[in-house]
Chains A and B, each alone.
Chain A
């Protein structure tokens, strides 16, 4: 039984990684700018499509026609040769193989630009508008972004293979000195978990140990005073929006081998990540991270048939049930501050 529970726990950490990363970005935006961003899921999706686009670039092919061979419908067979391999040889093959992690390099500047562009172009006009209107405009924006991706890449999911070295399952049990083959877990999912820990640590360190972060934190606490001190808080907040976009985008890039992305992937995560943010406490970064992992783990355990036998359908509702209970017992979420987002 221990091995089953441990596996389910691992799975919860792995599911929670994605929730935590998305909720972290949402909270950054909310905490700094006070904006409820329903387009945050769309940023995750755009990140995922950075990986898709990068791979499509890498796998551009030259097509030559072999007039000798005919396909079953009588057309000549096409022979495809990847360009990257023609130019770079084996190194090209390595590039293609590692396309997902490498596309992080592409995703960071792209997401930063999109985030800053979004903030300057649209969001900044909504700081003073009611939250309901922020929700609505960003929701509209999310639809538009999703549809643009659909028009460009089509409605169907596009699989992104993971690097061959990171395929398959890792024998964690054996690492921990247990019997081999008892606790095995997909390698890439472990990579995703570690990656998310890294990103979360980086964001916290950035806010904690840099002057920039200190000013932002001060601004989160009291925007007027910091502004009165002659610090250009607005520009820093713009950059924070960009950083939130980068976090969401990187989460999206690394998620692609687990779930082939299509244009709805952002919306699928959006509702759940809002629940995560609210459970953690609006505006609390540690709360968002903790709630992300907590809900991931609960969701994973609730899917066990042993539990479902007692509470039918519990796997479907657990996240919402927890949200309702937490909001009723701890009105401001796990680690939320008083007075945030209460109209």
Chain B
């Protein structure tokens, strides 16, 4: 593949460069800059353009990572004009032609981020420096997304975030080069609180178990605020380490704490474990304060629902997207994903796929890969047909504003994939919020940093 070719050509460049140093004694600084004089990082000069996929293929969120990989492969096929075209046919407005991006065929390199920020960052650096990735995308933890996003800002490469739900990604840690299609914890709070109030009443006492990192903290805060506004009390909030496995020592104190709702701010395998264990503790059969004890999982996906099996039935949460939505975009995506892999796409797959397409479309509209122009094309872009209704890439914080789903574990699944019911769709206006509440600064797009 391109690895070998690049290696050889670079060696030649280096050899010439080094001969130069030895001959003239020029400092390495000059040589390294001079050898790859280019207007921006990884300007594609050949007939191809490379995406860098940063995927958690192992670790707590591995299942989401594997699904994202499938989605990216599908998106790249569709961008190159192979397959059934998927969402290329329904995206409105669209500048995509199905012949790659700006006539260049799309290919990809990938890296296993192990659901760890450090590793994700090293992988992204490798894909940018060695493999010449023009854009980095993926990730399914907010820690990863924030770490990689700030790296991309330093190197002048656009980052299209995958699954990241922390308020910080487009809040306090937002970056000019980072874009997020997925919704966030604050919007989950807006969406789920009225449904919870309706189902469980205004007089409830909640106990939070929270994954101890940026996403967990912001979700805990958002859900706490939203439920307290309903009139609920918060008994206790307890932080649990990411990937703890056995949560029993955190669950035991919940039993006799006087709480009648357990809120699990966990995701991926952590959520599957903590929910399953909570059910084993008999929490769903308990009566507390004269009310039925309830468990709420503010964010969950179809993959996690499958993992939790029986235990997810009847549990409320929110989702970015679900495969059985009735609109054209969702149908088209489910159809081509299902035909390719034999299972419906998860919300992680959906956001990954959409991000890849939106980046390609922005390049086409900008007419260049030059990041500041692409950023301009994405900022304030309004589109439709991707499954969440009319969607706006907000310029102020690079957050997509679109409708949000409140979901509930299906009591009577008709197939192994039919695990969620969409109980309510919160429209874009309701899920809207002022970007100023989270602070943060995007930074400048220009001058474009040189990545080598």
* Contact surface of A with B, Cβ cutoff 8 Å: 3-4, 7-8, 10-12, 14-15, 71-75, 77, 150, 155-157, 159, 161, 167-169, 181-182, 184-186, 188-189, 258-260, 264-265, 268, 299-300, 303-305, 308, 315-316
Give chain A residues whose Cβ lies under 8 Å from the Cβ of B415. 71, 77
A315 to B287, CA, bound (A): 29
Q: Which one, A11, A150, A168, A308, contacts B252 given CB within 8 A?
A: A11
Mark B residues whose CB is within 8 Å of A. Answer: 57-58, 62-63, 66, 236, 238, 241, 245-246, 248-250, 252-253, 255-257, 269, 272-273, 276-277, 280-282, 285-287, 307, 309, 323-324, 331, 334-339, 342, 344, 415
- In the complex, A14 Cα to B236 Cα: how many Å? 24
In terms of DSSP, what is the predominant structure of the interface of chain A? mixed
Q: Is the CB of A73 within 8 A of B277?
A: no
Chain A residues with Cβ below 8 Å from B324 are 72
CA of A143 to CA of B119, assembled, Å: 19
The answer to whether B253 and A8 have CB atoms under 8 Å apart is: yes
Q: Which residues of B have CB within 8 Å of A169?
A: 280-282, 285
CB neighbours (8 Å) of B342 from chain A are 75
Least CB separation from B245: chain A residue? A259
Q: How far is the CA of A316 from the CA of B242 in the complex (A)?
A: 12
- Residues of chain A with a CB closer than 8 A to B236's CB: 305
Is A184 a contact of B309 with CB atoms below 8 Å?
A: no
Closest to B308 in A: A159
Provide 23 A-B residue pairs closer than 8 Å at the C-beta atoms, listed in order of the A residue: A4-B253, A7-B255, A8-B252, A11-B252, A72-B335, A150-B58, A155-B58, A159-B276, A159-B307, A168-B285, A169-B280, A184-B286, A186-B282, A189-B280, A259-B245, A259-B246, A259-B273, A260-B307, A268-B245, A300-B249, A303-B249, A305-B236, A315-B249
Q: Given A15-B248, A299-B249, are A72 and B241 also a contact pair (CB < 8 Å)?
A: no
Do A258 and B246 form a contact, CB below 8 Å, given A75-B342, A155-B58, A168-B285?
A: yes
Select the residue from B236, B255, B334, B339 with max chain A CB neighbours within 10 A: B255
Cβ of A181: which chain B residues have Cβ within 8 Å of it? Answer: 286-287
> Which of A11, A72, A150 is the one whose CB lies under 8 Å from B323?
A72
A78 CB to nearest B CB, Å: 9
Given A169-B280, A184-B281, A303-B253: A75 and B338 interface contact (C-beta under 8 Å): yes
Known: A156-B62, A182-B256. A73 touches B248 (CB 8 A): no
Does A305 contact B253, Cβ atoms closer than 8 Å? yes
Which residues in B have their C-beta under 8 angstroms from that of A316? Answer: 241
A155 to B282, CA, bound (A): 29
**Nearest-CB residue, chain B, relative to A312:** B239
Contact B249 A71 (CB under 8 A): no
Closest Cβ neighbor of A11 among chain B residues: B252
Q: How far does the alpha carbon of A161 sit from the alpha carbon of B277 in the complex, in Å?
A: 12
CA of A214 to CA of B442, assembled, Å: 73
B309 proximity list for chain A (CB < 8 A): 159, 161
**Contact yes or no, A3 B253, CB < 8 A:** no
Least CB distance, A300 to chain B, in whole angstroms: 5
A74 lies within 8 A of B280 (CB): no
Complex interface: chain B residues within 8 A of A264 (CB): 58
Contact in complex: A258, B339 (CB < 8 Å): no
B344 touches A72 (CB 8 A): yes
Candidate in B58, B248, B255, B336 with the most chain A CB atoms within 10 angstroms? B248
Chain A residue numbers with a CB within 8 Å of B338 are 71-75
- Contact present for A73 and B245 (CB under 8 Å): no
B257, B286, B287, B334: the one contacting A72 at CB < 8 Å is B334
B238 touches A305 (CB 8 A): yes
A268 proximity list for chain B (CB < 8 A): 245
Find chain A residues with CB under 8 A from B245 CB. 259, 265, 268
Which residues of chain B are near A303, meaning CB under 8 Å?
249-250, 253
Task: Write out the residue numbers on chain A whose beta carbons fall within 8 Å of the beta carbon of B287.
Answer: 181
Q: Which residue of A lies closest to B56 (CB)?
A: A155
Q: CA A11 – CA B335 in complex, angstroms?
A: 47
Residues on B with beta carbons closer than 8 Å to the beta carbon of A185: 281
Could you tell me if A15 and B256 are in contact, using CB atoms closer than 8 angstroms? Answer: no
| Residues in chain A near residue B252, CB distance under 8 A | 7-8, 10-11, 300
Q: Among B58, B282, B285, B335, which residue has its beta carbon within 8 angstroms of that of A73?
A: B335
**In the assembly, what is the distance between CA of A14 and CA of B415, in Å?**
36
Query: Could you tell me the distance between the alpha carbons of A4 and B257 in the complex, rounded to whole angstroms?
Result: 8
| Chain B residue nearest to A258 in the complex (CB) | B246
**A245–chain B nearest beta-carbon distance, Å:** 22
Q: CA separation between A15 and B248, bound complex, in Å? A: 8
Q: A159-B307, A186-B281 given as contacts; is B253 within 8 A of A15 (CB)? A: no
CB distance from A337 to the nearest CB of B (A): 32
Q: Which residues on B sit within 8 Å (CB–CB) of A315?
A: 249
Q: Taking the nearest CB of chain B, how far is it from the CB of A256, in angstroms?
A: 12
Find chain B residues with CB under 8 A from A305 CB. Answer: 236, 238, 253
CB distance from B70 to the nearest CB of A (A): 13
